[in-house]
Amino acid sequence: MLMIVVAWLLLGFCRPVTPAVLHEGAVTNVTTVAPKSVREIEKDIESIITSVTKMLLPYFVRNSDLNISAPLLDAMAKPPFGLFRGTFSIMGDYDECLDVSANKRGDIPKTKEDEFYHGQYCTVEADFPPKLLQAMLDLGNGNANHTEFGKIGSILKEFPAANFAGNYFKFLIGICLPSTCTQADLKEILKLVPVDFIPLNVRRCEDGRSKVFNVDQIVFLTVLALIALLVVIGTVIDGYQHLKHKDSKGERKNRLLQFFVAFSLYTNTKKLVHIEKNSGSEISCINGMYVLGTALVVIYHTYFLPFFTLFSSNAANLGTYLKDIEFTLIVTMGISIEAYFLFSGLLLVYPRFRRNEKHPKINVIKIILRRYIRLCPSLLFILGLIVVLPLVGSGPVWTDIFDKAADNTRKWWWTYVLMFNNFLAVKDQTFLYLWFIPCLMQISIIGAFLVWLMGKCPKFGMCIVIATGVACNIALGVLTALRNYPPTYAIYYYHNREHFEETIYTAPLSHFFSYGIGMLLGYFMAKNPTLKFSRAHVIFGWIASLLLMVGIQFIAYAGKDGTDPHPILAAIYAATHRTGFSIGLAWTILACTHGYGGVVGKIFSWKGFGPMSKLGYFGYLIHYIVITFHVSNARSSIIFSHYENWMRISGYTLVTFFAAYVLYVTFESPLTYIESFFLPSRPANENLQNNIKQNVNIEGIVATNEIIPPNTIASWNLKNSSYISEEHSKL
């Protein structure tokens, strides 16, 4: 079968190789031959491979038992249809390969003890010829290319998205070998392939046999078992309490019982779906925006997983989609992460300054501790899942994705505890999307001091917020211009992404002003509970908001062919587009909160979004694993198309919210209650001692005023512990 692979590589890529890209004047005595179309070349390759396969099949049959050789041959990957349409992963039959087993006589063994060898699945990576890639990159940047085998522009133009070819064009070939062959043997065989201009590498070999448990996996599985036990005990106790006190609410004074009941599925589900009536402290439109934000990150990562070519066929459709201007909204959808920074800044300031206090008491240390407790344990829980996941799945690309992520987690876990993993190199991060959590923590530390400063001297504090944001934006522009970074994080500029991700995209520098705008908005809304705008102001506000939130994204469409913009233009866009998006979003929140949102405001303020918004944090943390779990289990390539992607998006979104619900009722809600013992919130006023029921968020904002009997205060505290902090239901 390896001969087939070698023939495929030779026939598909063998061309004169020195040099691949020349200036037009340097090409002499070369006959320019109009190349065949891609479809014609593809048919020729398939025809030759079919012929070679037919010639080799009798050899396998004569030299091995048919029951053994046939599955080995059948399980191997063969060049499929659609190579030139972006089928980069040729998987073969993973399960059939691992099911192969033979004894010394070449028969199928009756017992495991009789087995002499079994099948093992190996993955060979074939990189695209570097010089051809350079020609494609130059073509994408508008440079004419000439090679010793003629002008190839007509062919290169049929390779969509050529500008980031170097990152995506890596062919993976599944090879099924007997377990008696080692990975080193396969590497030696590959050295015999006479195509030096095509880098070949054996990524891995696996036999699918029993996996060894590591200490960290055993520890986390023990934690999961303990949580499951607490959930069972808490639910049983809670059920018994409700049956015992079915005619009255009862009081649970026993702290130990309260601890167990904090893990009750019934109580935590009830807290989740509980919707406050006549709540005057909640900015209700944010609930719908949080839910939409979770859906947007699912959409974005369904289309643009960093390793999507490992499991995709027809990936060349992406190049076609990039030409569609409306697709720009998906390409630039990563900007929606700025909404989370804005919401966090808003919810930090708004509740504290809504009180009628000249100088509100702000405890900086408590704010930082609350934020850390809110973010870190849940993040570590997800890291634990990532470490365990290599044990629970398999597939042609499963090991490539999850084993690497687990290894990086073991190596760099301490950076997640200390909350600075966003400064790691991209190759060292568990999954890149987790950069957001430490970045938010770092900005929140700065925000805690700024909100304290605003409490002491509001005008001076706000000036410092603005000055810091402007300074960050100027620094962004300067870095972009000096280092020739792309203007934004979009797949148009994927070929120039790595250092940009480490220096710009995952750094607090890029996102502080979005957080600062949230702080300024929170202060303005707290001090102006009622606002009236003229019709002209409302119309102007919405037009400006749409231009800032949507129109600014379409500017990125100018880079659809991968051409790098002028450094000055890139710097201006890099320094302003996130801030512009956040200003537009700030108006949307302001308008919806004060009754100028129209249909948009009614949709975002729908009460049903209230419970779903509480799942926002775990929804963000788990969505990537939901997507990756599915694609890593794939036994064959997944078609990359709008229809297939949106079908997957629908399923991913549902599973994400369900998984977030499970994690909320078993981990997040109990953690919130436990935290309340160590960091109790300060009552907003003396009404609590007068038995006035109050829902308190962050530092004690009255949400409702309802007289309750004295003997139910304790049970109300347990039931409503999730309302102790607004930050516990929002990022």
Which of 668, 647, 655 shows the shortest CA–CA distance to 627? 655
The residue type of 235 is: T
Confidence of residue 442 (pLDDT cuts 50, 70, 90): very high
Half-sphere exposure of 323 (CA within 13 A, CB side): 8
pLDDT score of 682 more than 80: no
| Token pair in block for residue 421 | 């993993």
pLDDT score of 241 more than 70: yes
What does the pLDDT average to over 659-675?
92
* Distance from C-alpha of 443 to C-alpha of 481, rounded to nearest angstrom: 24
pLDDT score of 559 more than 90: no
Residue-wise pLDDT tens digits, 697-723: 333 333 333 333 433 433 334 444 333
Q: Write down how long the chain is.
A: 731
* Distance from C-alpha of 694 to C-alpha of 656, rounded to nearest angstrom: 32
What does the pLDDT average to over 105-129?
74
Looking up tokens 């297939």 gives 644
pLDDT score of 126 more than 60: yes
pLDDT of amino acid 102: 78
**Parallel, antiparallel or unpaired: strands 89-90 and 170-178:** parallel
pLDDT score of 30 more than 60: no
Q: Angle at Cα 398 formed by Cα 651 and Cα 129, nearest 5°?
A: 110
Residue-wise pLDDT tens digits, 416-432: 999 999 988 878 888 88
Which of 663, 334, 673, 386 shows the shortest CA–CA distance to 511? 334
Q: Cα–Cα distances in Å, from 682 out to 240, 293, 311, 696?
A: 32, 31, 52, 9
pLDDT of amino acid 85: 67
What does the pLDDT average to over 292-296?
94
* Distance from C-alpha of 189 to C-alpha of 1, rounded to nearest angstrom: 12
Residue-wise pLDDT tens digits, 598-653: 999 999 999 899 999 999 999 999 999 999 999 988 888 888 889 999 999 999 99
pLDDT of amino acid 445: 97
* Distance from C-alpha of 303 to C-alpha of 697, rounded to nearest angstrom: 37
**Parallel, antiparallel or unpaired: strands 170-178 and 117-127:** antiparallel
Residue-wise pLDDT tens digits, 508-522: 999 999 999 999 999
pLDDT score of 248 more than 90: no
Quickly count: other Cβ atoms within 10 Å of residue 230's Cβ: 17
Percent of the chain at pLDDT exceeding 70: 69
Give the best-scoring range by mean pLDDT among 249-263, 307-321, 440-454, 673-687: 440-454
Which of 700, 698, 701 shows the shortest CA–CA distance to 729? 698
pLDDT of amino acid 4: 41
| Token pair in block for residue 176 | 């099924």
| Token pair in block for residue 279 | 């709540």
pLDDT of amino acid 21: 38
What does the pLDDT average to over 150-158?
49
What does the pLDDT average to over 64-89?
61
Confidence of residue 561 (pLDDT cuts 50, 70, 90): confident
Confidence of residue 104 (pLDDT cuts 50, 70, 90): low
pLDDT score of 152 more than 60: no
What does the pLDDT average to over 122-139?
70
Confidence of residue 200 (pLDDT cuts 50, 70, 90): confident
* Distance from C-alpha of 418 to C-alpha of 155, rounded to nearest angstrom: 50
What does the pLDDT average to over 100-105?
74
Least confident of 92-106, 260-274, 502-516: 92-106
pLDDT of amino acid 191: 77
Cα 603 from chain centre: 26
Residue 222 φ then ψ, to 5°? -65, -40
* Distance from C-alpha of 586 to C-alpha of 592, rounded to nearest angstrom: 10
pLDDT of amino acid 230: 95
Q: What b/e string do you get for 563-593 counting C-beta neighbours within 10 Å, with b at 16 or more?
A: ebbebeebbbbbbbbbbbbbbbbbbbbbbbb
pLDDT of amino acid 288: 94
Q: What is the DSSP letter of 148?
A: T
What's the pTM value of the predicted model, to 2 decimals? 0.81
pLDDT of amino acid 106: 58
Q: Is the dihedral of CA 90, 91, 97, 98 positive or negative?
A: positive
* Distance from C-alpha of 111 to C-alpha of 99, rounded to nearest angstrom: 14
pLDDT score of 113 more than 60: yes
pLDDT of amino acid 662: 96
Residue-wise pLDDT tens digits, 35-55: 444 455 455 545 544 544 554
pLDDT of amino acid 38: 46
pLDDT of amino acid 627: 95
pLDDT of amino acid 601: 93
Least confident of 460-464, 653-657, 693-697: 693-697
Write out the E strands in 129-178.
170-178
What does the pLDDT average to over 460-471?
97
Residue-wise pLDDT tens digits, 339-381: 999 999 999 999 999 876 677 889 999 999 999 999 999 999 9
Number of H helices, E strands in the chain: 31, 9
Residue-wise pLDDT tens digits, 385-421: 999 999 998 888 888 889 889 999 999 999 999 999 9
| Token pair in block for residue 22 | 């020349």
Using CB atoms within 10 Å of the CB of residue 554, give its burial: 0 to 12 exposed, 13 to 18 middle, 19+ buried.
Answer: middle
pLDDT score of 477 more than 70: yes
What does the pLDDT average to over 322-328?
88
Q: Average model confidence (pLDDT) for the chain?
A: 77
pLDDT of amino acid 534: 92
pLDDT of amino acid 218: 95
Residue-wise pLDDT tens digits, 565-587: 888 999 999 999 999 999 999 99
Q: Are 53 and 73 spatial neighbours (Cβ–Cβ below 8 Å)? A: no
What does the pLDDT average to over 206-212?
80
